[in-house]
Structure 1
């Protein structure tokens, strides 16, 4: 039984959720009007019943006082009681011995109640009673008079209240039907912009035309919704355009190494088929060709990895954590030395804490070191400095190379951009763009300038964070040193 009772609300909820918004608004409007009419009917009925009863009681008191005055003058046994005319109040006199006198021809009243008898015996002065036990209910007022009491009664007539209730019921039905129609009309009018918005959105989904902005109409929430969708379409357009540019740039960058790789491989295959590979290519030439092939494969692998990382659209799936940026720089420098053993790196690091993603920041620092390593002479180290400056962590990567021309500075962090002087060097032109994206994701800033040694000075500013409490206390008692 309890399971069945529990299923009914869920079924009703599922049914309600399957209804359209227009139907919901119609039902809500009709229900609200029905509840309002019902409450108004209840209040009005109570007020009408109270008013009719109060009027009847006041009339009974007035008639009783008149009869009591006559009874005191003529006596309870001799006071005249006119014959009952067929309607109006009913009268009765209670004599001292407990017997009663009634007007001729009037309907019989209920027996004298015990409280009314006490009024006749002098226990109280008056009493208002309501008797609904018989077929016809009576409202009886008992008033002390002489040595007995007089009673005036009226039949309780509920017909005015019933007629009023029936009229209210008809009015309520009309109001509910009218409310449903009005609610339907209001819902149709109010939801018309949403209907047009739905049609426009479906058209965009079918045609894949992201350039078709939805007309800005309506007001309030509707206008905000339309503007939000148009902003979303604009973001999708920008994203698709960025993807198209990325694909075009990637195809352009891949064309040169793939062509060189294909020509070299075809040369080896052709010579091998002729059987004169050893005679046509001396050992030195063959070694140089194989080294060239290895370098091209490495370049393609690096380019593919950077394209994958760049096309993901986010910095990383890893969570943000509180970390010491000096540890990240040391880890990146270690990786750079393992990849390029000839590179010399000089570290001048101060412990500075930031809130960030360790792997993404390490990738950015590694790209900065790789870029500096390509330009710095073999006898000059790549200098890496980390310090706290105001509320920022400042990382500087300094090389002793030829520096960056002024015309190339604005485009250093663009994807696939390579200066004319760098086209003969290995690289894809994506390293610094990845640095820029990581820095932006950490609310930082990346800039480029000329170093004191004449080379390039790449600087990254990141918001500094407060170190954990135990570390902060330890650092406060120590001098920050070189790592």
Structure 2
């Protein structure tokens, strides 16, 4: 039973792919040279055969003209035929009656062909024939002479072609072996930078030392490859440095609430073991302590959530979609109101369509509102404005608080950075850093300025979805449609009571 050709082809492909690049280059070089030698042999053999045959035909014509001239002078029956030399040329005379004359001792030629007989009868002037028998091949030239014809023949000799072929075979084998060796040497020389690159990558993988750059050598593709790997190592160094800083900052920020939480819990445990909990802690003090514990747990939960969100970076399973940013802002304001009932938010939003991740944008807007709510006085709402400005969606969140000092403005969006005036307030210093990351991921820009009311004005500019795209997608599932005027512009303030 024959094996399927497709299976053999796949097996050969797998075998070839498992070979090293050096081996493949060597094999390819040897095959290329072998094919070149074979093609050169075929072409040279054909050219040599044509040349030898042309030379033999020219010699037969010259000998036939000499014999024909002698036959016309002396007559076909009386002309003296040259003796057979033992090899090479053979002659024959065709008489008018169809009989033939040959020199004594000469081997017999093939019978006179019908075409050669027509030449002897005067139907044509000459004829060049080639014929192969089981033993010998003949090249026979027939020339009209008198009332008959003369023939000069030569045994076809393939020995020059055979000797040439043997020589080409030996040369071809030598060329293939030399080509394989040269290909091996070229592959070794050409792949030397890749070998060093591989060794450096293995060393980095084993030592985990990302500070060792790979020497930039070679040119062209090799140099670009080394530069790309060095850039990748630099990115990994920056990523590891950022992770280390994040871990150090997180440990520092977690230390204080964890220490306070542990001390308060240990105090409660000691008092409970002694049985003096009620006497040592009056109801008012116990309530205050429990409230502090709840606030510390909430702060830890918020910090853990923000650390998780920040550590994930730009990795998210949430897909990008066209959305109305006004809906996101309203949802974030509602969530802020539910988390902190005392916060008062004044919305002035216009429907603006953007392309983004809804949950990430809502988290960023929520952090902006939470940050403003910490500073805004109880009788002053947090003002949230959304409008379209050129090709951007502009979101502004301002408060009536003390504002941000000029010295703190450059670091407002840094991780864990908190101004001296904000140390006593709840928070981790990660909220605005998350805002910055989300805005950057959406191709936008976040800035800080002073509000006309004296507080801080945080502004976010995001690319708005092109109008042409919205129009083209009007018939597509999920495509935006213009909102009614009442929905596009909502303005109001939520009551401050629960």
For Structure 1 versus Structure 2, the TM-score category normalised by the shorter chain is: over 0.9
User: Offset of 1:480 from its aligned partner?
Assistant: 8.8
User: Offset of 1:43 from its aligned partner?
Assistant: 0.8
Q: Where does the alignment leave 5 or more consecutive residues of structure 1 unmatched?
A: none
**Larger CA deviation: 40-49 vs 185-194:** 185-194
Listed one character per residue, the Cα deviations across residues 160-196 of structure 1 (whole Å, up to 9, x for unaligned) are 1110111111111111111111112122222222222
| 1:55 to 2:62 alignment | no
**Larger CA deviation: 1-10 vs 93-102:** 1-10
**Larger CA deviation: 269-278 vs 447-456:** 269-278
Classify 1:479/1:363 alpha carbon distance in 2 versus 1 (closer, same or farther; 3 Å). Answer: closer
> Partners in 1 of 2:196 and 2:175 — Cα distance?
31
Which secondary structure does the structure 1 equivalent of 2:316 belong to? coil
Contact 1:332 1:365 in 2 (8 A): yes
1:353 corresponds in structure 2 to 353
> Partners in 2 of 1:165 and 1:449 — Cα distance?
90
Listed one character per residue, the Cα deviations across residues 323-371 of structure 1 (whole Å, up to 9, x for unaligned) are 2211211221221122122222222222222111111111111111111
**Larger CA deviation: 398-407 vs 86-95:** 86-95
Which secondary structure does the structure 1 equivalent of 2:489 belong to? coil
1:299 corresponds in structure 2 to 299
Contact 1:315 1:360 in 2 (8 A): no
User: Offset of 1:119 from its aligned partner?
Assistant: 2.2
Q: Where does the alignment leave 5 or more consecutive residues of structure 2 unmatched?
A: 491-498
Which secondary structure does the structure 2 equivalent of 1:90 belong to? strand
> Partners in 2 of 1:73 and 1:352 — Cα distance?
116
Contact 1:384 1:395 in 2 (8 A): yes
Which secondary structure does the structure 1 equivalent of 2:333 belong to? helix
User: Offset of 1:96 from its aligned partner?
Assistant: 2.2
1:230 corresponds in structure 2 to 230
**Larger CA deviation: 19-28 vs 1-10:** 1-10
> Partners in 2 of 1:56 and 1:326 — Cα distance?
98
What TM-score comes out, normalization by structure 1 length?
Answer: 0.95
User: Offset of 1:272 from its aligned partner?
Assistant: 1.1
> Partners in 2 of 1:72 and 1:362 — Cα distance?
117
| Paired residues for 1:240-251 under 5 Å | 240-251=240-251
> Partners in 1 of 2:298 and 2:40 — Cα distance?
85
Which secondary structure does the structure 1 equivalent of 2:69 belong to? helix
User: Offset of 1:481 from its aligned partner?
Assistant: 4.4
User: Offset of 1:210 from its aligned partner?
Assistant: 1.2
> Partners in 1 of 2:444 and 2:52 — Cα distance?
81
**Larger CA deviation: 85-94 vs 204-213:** 85-94
1:342 corresponds in structure 2 to 342
> Partners in 1 of 2:486 and 2:47 — Cα distance?
87
> Partners in 2 of 1:257 and 1:473 — Cα distance?
46
| 1:216 to 2:216 alignment | yes
2:281 corresponds in structure 1 to 281
1:468 corresponds in structure 2 to 470
**Larger CA deviation: 250-259 vs 209-218:** 209-218
Which secondary structure does the structure 2 equivalent of 1:139 belong to? strand
User: Offset of 1:378 from its aligned partner?
Assistant: 2.0
1:312 corresponds in structure 2 to 312
> Partners in 1 of 2:82 and 2:486 — Cα distance?
120
Contact 1:384 1:398 in 2 (8 A): yes
> Partners in 1 of 2:320 and 2:108 — Cα distance?
94
2:423 corresponds in structure 1 to 423
> Partners in 2 of 1:439 and 1:473 — Cα distance?
22
2:72 corresponds in structure 1 to 72
1:265 corresponds in structure 2 to 265
Which secondary structure does the structure 2 equivalent of 1:152 belong to? strand
Classify 1:190/1:106 alpha carbon distance in 2 versus 1 (closer, same or farther; 3 Å). Answer: same
Contact 2:396 2:459 in 1 (8 A): yes
Contact 1:448 1:456 in 2 (8 A): yes
| 1:29 to 2:29 alignment | yes
1:362 corresponds in structure 2 to 362
Please report the RMSD computed on the Cα atoms of aligned residues, expressed in angstroms.
2.0
> Partners in 2 of 1:46 and 1:476 — Cα distance?
83
1:482 corresponds in structure 2 to 489
**Larger CA deviation: 200-209 vs 39-48:** 200-209
What TM-score comes out, normalization by structure 2 length?
Answer: 0.93
1:143 corresponds in structure 2 to 143
> Partners in 1 of 2:126 and 2:32 — Cα distance?
47
Listed one character per residue, the Cα deviations across residues 250-292 of structure 1 (whole Å, up to 9, x for unaligned) are 0110011111111111111111112121122111111111111
> Partners in 1 of 2:67 and 2:350 — Cα distance?
112
Listed one character per residue, the Cα deviations across residues 435-455 of structure 1 (whole Å, up to 9, x for unaligned) are 000111111110000111111
User: Offset of 1:315 from its aligned partner?
Assistant: 5.0
> Partners in 2 of 1:364 and 1:100 — Cα distance?
114
Give the count of matched residue pairs: 483
2:181 corresponds in structure 1 to 181
Contact 2:393 2:463 in 1 (8 A): yes
Contact 1:393 1:463 in 2 (8 A): yes
> Partners in 2 of 1:403 and 1:342 — Cα distance?
20
Contact 1:315 1:441 in 2 (8 A): no
1:459 corresponds in structure 2 to 459
Contact 1:193 1:217 in 2 (8 A): yes
